[in-house]
Amino acid sequence: MDKQTENKKVFLEIVHQLRTLIRIEKIQPGGKLPSERVLCERLGVGRSSVREALRSLELLGLIETKHGGGTFLAATHNHQLVEVLSMFILEDEKSKKDVHITRQIHEKEAISIVSRTVELRALPVWDSLFVKLELEGTIICKDVLREIIIASGNRLALKIWFQLEAYDGAFLSRESTEDGKIHIQTMLKSMQLGYEREALQAYKQWLETLEE
């Protein structure tokens, strides 16, 4: 009833309907949505309009599609959001530096969080990383940072970090130097002991070894 009253665009209305559908049918993240053709019929609209709505949600990272397979509710939220916004926003060199800095902001915060939280400090993953570092020595920077940010428990920050890391990838993908290794170990140990300041200091020193 109320659908007819609105003079708004069909595809926006469909976005609304989809949300209702997902709630009512209790579709879980990762769950399958009705096919495009079924949605057309159910909502009484053309397939193009359904697709415009679906594509919009896809760009937002709210749904995922598998060619020939179906449409699924995204398991993890907004990753494309940042990417697309960035595409329009990040244009000059200054922006590249901003990505770098912003990424580090989240890394520092995660280190602080872990250092300050007893339960997180006690996580076995730190020892594991430490040992791996000891044995192989070829550990990749981003693996360590990723674990720390995951541990910090802020999923949104994790999503943002993933995006930034993707841009900034070349930098982080390098293997650590001998000097760098020491700083990573110091950072991990400090974190485990709850020495926030020292952990951040070691992180900073580690960064310096990367900047050559």
N- to C-terminal Cα separation, the chain: 65
Q: Which stretch binds DNA (CB under 7 A): 5-13, 95-103, 163-171, 199-207?
A: 5-13
Q: Rule CB under 7 A: choose which of 15, 21, 27, 51 binds DNA.
A: 51
SS3 72: strand
Q: What is the CB neighbour count within 10 angstroms for residue 27?
A: 16
User: How far is CA 68 from each of CA 81, 106, 116, 129, rounded to the nearest angstrom?
Assistant: 25, 38, 48, 40
Cα distance between residue 30 and residue 114, in whole Å: 29
Q: Rule CB under 7 A: choose which of 29, 30, 31, 70 binds DNA.
A: 70
Q: Residue 130 binds which one of its own copies, DNA, none, with CB within 5 to 8 A depending on kind?
A: none
DSSP 178: H
In the complex, what is the shortest distance from the CB of residue 60 to DNA, in angstroms, rounded to a whole number? Answer: 15
Q: Quick one: 81 or 125, whose CB is closer to its own copies?
A: 81
The type of residue at 115 is: S
Residue partners of 82: CB distance under 8 A and separation at least 6 = 159, 160, 163, 164
Q: What stretches of 25-68 show up as alpha helix (H) in DSSP?
A: 36-43, 47-59
DSSP 140: B
Q: Quick one: 55 or 96, whose CB is closer to DNA?
A: 55
In the complex, what is the shortest distance from the CB of residue 9 to DNA, in angstroms, rounded to a whole number? Answer: 4
Q: Is 16 in the site for DNA (CB under 7 A)?
A: no
Which residue, chain included where needed, has tokens 């872990």?
A: 114
Residue 175: phi and psi, rounded to 5, are -75, 155
Q: Is 25 in the site for its own copies (CB under 8 A)?
A: no
Q: Is 172 in the site for DNA (CB under 7 A)?
A: no
Q: Rule CB under 7 A: choose which of 28, 48, 128, 138 binds DNA.
A: 48
Q: Residue 115 binds which one of its own copies, DNA, none, with CB within 5 to 8 A depending on kind?
A: none
Site residues, its own copies (CB under 8 A): 11-12, 15-16, 19, 22-23, 48, 51-53, 55-60, 62, 77-78, 80-82, 84-91, 94-95, 98-99, 101-102, 105-106, 108-109, 154-157, 159-160, 163
